[in-house]
Chain A
Amino acid sequence: MINFEKFTLENGLKVIVHEDNTTPIVAFNILYDVGARDEDEDRTGFAHLFEHLMFGGSANIPNFDSPLQHAGGSSNAYTSNDVTNYYDTLPVQNLETAFWLESDRLNKLAFTDKSLEVQRSVVIEEFKQNYLNQPYGDVWLLLRPLAYQKHPYKWATIGKEIKHIEDATMEDVKSFFYKHYTPQNGILCVAGNVTVAEVKELSKKWFGPIEVRDQYVRNLPVEPEQNELRKLEVERDVPGDALYLAFHMSRRMDKRFYLADMLSDVLSRGKSSRFTKRLVLEKQLFTELDAFVMGSSDPGLFVVSGKTREGVSLDEAYAEVRLELETLQKELVVEYELQKIKNKIESTNIFEEMNALNKAMNLCSFELLGNAEMINHQMDNYINITPEELKEEAILLFKEENCSVLFYKAKK
């Protein structure tokens, strides 16, 4: 059970406080409701590039990290298709430094040309390092636009192509900032040995004076239902073939999310899962095979990803994966297997509660999805799931016409 309190400043910034007196470190996490899905299609990768620029100095503080390091702290951030999340950890007695720094960059960024030029290069190198200069790195650049035709989930957070990052201008940066970085778009969580009163006072002092900005109204195209199997085959200079399947699934807040999540667990959570046991060890078709869900704000993807053993054709590999999925559509998961997964989810939840920063991040994410209180009720969503419900979900989810398949072949 994670206890917390919530309040909202007059300018709309939501603040969550979690008192944890077992740690000398305080976690300061601030999430902004902006991600790659809010980008223009011809200017992708921008939310992420912007995240880099947030470290390039603000109106009153030339460098974000130096003062934080002086306070014994460190920081980082990540961008997803849905959100941009910034976090700082520091000794609790220096908590105010985080308030000072984070509020100044929400108040006004420095917008220096130097920062834009440098971070543009850094992000391009990131693009190369993670997506281009390693085997299978471009999978998501291929799979997303195959699975999504309308919704902006069709591009990856890093962007569609390097050119979009090269073309970003200072004007783009400024308008993005004022459009998305507003107090009412932010959720702050402070977790550590603090009191609610103390955090309230600091929040009012540092974030209170920031003006309300125009409310951005998100109006994204809806992905139409997929009615036929999509297939893409590519050839790359990689050591072996790989297979990817992507099925459209529900959004994170839908009840169906938990069913899909559990199906992915049946298939590939732990070494005793079906995929590992049957397709990796028994039939020896894959060297590794995973299934996972994307818990995204808008309808997401259920993904199967595997590398085939040498000599196994992708057609055969695909057929065998289909067979496993069809088994889930035809046969009930047995009670033992279901209980195993429930136990694993329960213990994972407990391990996740060991760290103040983890808790702060999760509280912010749940608040964005609807209500931070959900953090204490995750298990309830899984505990009563029945084998019949899983079977029904498998029938809907694993329809072949709901699937995009990528055959990623090694050049001979």
Chain B
Amino acid sequence: MLDRVTAPELKEIDKISFIEPEVRELRNGMKVLGFNIGSQEVIQLEFNFFSGAKYQEKSLIAGYVSKMIGEASSKFAPGEIMDKVDYYGAFLQTGADRDMSHVTLFTIQKQLKEVLPIFAEAVLNPTFPERELSIHLKNGKQKFKVENEKVGYRCRQLFSEIMFKNHPYGNMANEAAYDKVDSSMLKHFYKNMYTASNGLIVISGKFEDSLYNELDKEFGSLPVGKYKRTTEKITLSKAEKVYEEKAGAIQSGIRIGKILNVEFGSDSFLKLQMLNTILGGYFGSRLMSNIREDKGYTYGIGSAIATMDDALFFFISTEVGADVTNDAIKEIYFELERLRSELISTEELEMVKNYMLGSMLKSSDGPFSLADKYKTVYLKGDDLTFYDRYIATINNTTSEELLRLAKEFFNSTEMLEVVVGKK
């Protein structure tokens, strides 16, 4: 008879391999990190610039600069670039977050030769045509209105607005902002920010060594410019309770969190990652187990640590039934307090360790992911030893240390609480 009760024996993850890139430089000094790995004939070519929303003088500029790249260029009329990119089966992805922007090309290897000059033209010579910009702005405004009706979205906006008051991170676009952007602002921002000194190229996938020369040929003419990145750490958190009622809401969005005054990659930072995982970082987390799997208040709840250039912050977020909003908030604080008052059992700690190592193994799978893993730490001024330290921390941290850490960082009275919906 088969024994279905006893779990099969587990084997530890003994090794997670990360890859050092080949580092090159274009003639304009722009740095290139190359990860020539993988078995599929695909390539990701990513241009990163320190040109996120925190550097913009007016709302929406950084986002619309990245959005408009690929729209038109000196050589190509509106629509022509996208038509050609589509024709070669490639994908152009752009975006801006609060610290950085990126312009990324995904292509299969055999089309690279054709698509690279088009991509270069898009990145080097964008024209930001007024007519297309105004269409995108009007459409963007409409989408914003839709998003703003969602309690989750509104809650996130409000949380940032309050937490980062008087800092660019807290400048959230409103409807009116969409009427105040024009082409000359985008051109100005692009010219200052999208430069060789202010950016970083990351290539990953399977490519010929000659690609480095091709890159130099195509992108070596990007102006040198200046390094614009600044970091000024916000250390003070706001502790308030804010409630915004939304008529007719049948769920409430909840966001609770605080700024963590720690350095990226430090011992406390790594241990806080563990504490966060235990609280709300995976399916078996305490918040999920209690608020979803025991009480059924929500479809999902989680927590995370955001690592931005000027702030590290921790937050819990969820959407819960309007009728159980207060109960859910109570349970969230209950779980925060429990982390500060009880030792984590050996069993739970063991599970979290194994889960975290497994998920690290998973997130370092494949050329694009490996490149991303490296980039994440590289941009913070760290190197691959970060992951050695991280793995060692996961393996060696004790419940006593986590309890101490929770007492220091997860004080309920220090949290900003934002609720949008109905209580």
On A, residues with C-beta under 8 Å from B are 22-25, 59-61, 65-67, 69-75, 89-91, 93-94, 96-97, 99-100, 103-104, 107, 117-126, 128-130, 132-136, 205-206, 209, 237-240, 269-273, 277, 280-281, 284, 287-288, 307, 309-310, 336, 339-340, 343-348, 350-351, 353-355
Contacts and interface: CB of A to CB of B under 8 A. Distances in A.
B249 A133 contact: yes
B251 A133 contact: yes
Q: Which residue of B85, B89, B293 has the most chain A CB atoms within 10 A of its CB atom?
A: B89
Contact of B296 (A25, A66, A122, A347): A122
A287 B39 CA distance: 40
Contact of B361 (A72, A128, A132, A351): A72
Contacts of A120: 296
Nearest to A100: B8
16 contacts: A60-B4, A70-B10, A70-B354, A71-B10, A71-B354, A89-B362, A91-B358, A97-B8, A125-B251, A125-B298, A237-B248, A309-B138, A309-B142, A343-B86, A354-B40, A354-B42
Given A70-B350, A205-B2, A90 B284 contact: no
Contacts of A310: 138, 142
Contacts of A22: 38-39
Interface in B16-38: 16, 38
A26 to B, nearest CB: 10
Interface of B: 2, 4-5, 7-8, 10-11, 13, 16, 38-42, 70, 78-79, 82-83, 85-91, 106-108, 111, 132, 135, 138-139, 142-143, 145-146, 148-151, 248-251, 282-284, 292-299, 319-321, 350-352, 354-355, 357-359, 361-362, 365-366, 368
Contacts of B352: 69
Given A100-B8, A281-B79, A350 B41 contact: yes
Contacts of B13: 72, 91, 93
Given A74-B359, A96-B8, A340-B87, 13 more contacts: A22-B38, A24-B365, A90-B358, A100-B4, A121-B295, A123-B299, A125-B299, A205-B2, A280-B139, A310-B138, A343-B87, A347-B90, A354-B40
Contacts of A89: 362
* Interface hub of A124, A240, A270, A280 (most chain B Cβ within 10 A): A270
B73 to A, nearest CB: 15
Nearest to B150: A134
Given A107-B4, A270-B86, A351 B150 contact: no
A83 B285 CA distance: 28
A89 B40 CA distance: 21
A324 to B, nearest CB: 16
